[in-house]
Amino acid sequence: MCFSSTSSDIRSCSSTSRGEVLHALNEVVRQTEQVRAAEAAGKLIRLPSGEGMALVFRDSPEAPAHCALEISAALKTRPEVQVRMGIHSGPVNEILDVNERANIAGGGINMAQRVMDCGDAGHILLSKRVADDLAQYREWQPRLHDLGECEVKH
């Protein structure tokens, strides 16, 4: 899963600017190949969060990382949208919310957010579990850089 959020700098923006930034982020995310393919296959759950979103890809361990790279590349032409992303693979439960809409909960979501919280705008951070999994693929090896450990809140 990929958890993304606009950087803390957005808090100083007006609510109109905040809305525009979130709209731009949503637009970019919807246009990624990974999101479109997973949605078409019924393998994606999106969960909005205050200043970002969680994307749960149910079929591919690489999809969240590919998606994050697509988002990052697309945002290079939109400097007003500053985003940090955290990726983790872990337990996620599909539940129905109070409005009987699909929702997600579980330790996997919480850890993806904690991983993201260790970064700043422009960062794509992976949990050790995801980094270890991706390191097994030749294509990912040059893209992975060990930054050490980050203490996260529980």
Q: Residue 139: which pLDDT band, with cuts at 50, 70 and 90?
A: very high
Is the distance from CB of 135 to CB of 127 less than 8 angstroms?
A: no
Average pLDDT score over residue span 30-34 = 97
Residue-range domains of the chain with CATH: 2-143 (3.30.70.1230)
Residue with tokens 């700043």: 120
pLDDT on residue 7: 64
Phi, psi of 147, deg, nearest 5: -100, 5
Percentage of residues in the chain having pLDDT higher than 70: 93
Q: What is the pLDDT of residues 9-18, one digit of tens each?
A: 444 444 448 7
pLDDT on residue 40: 97
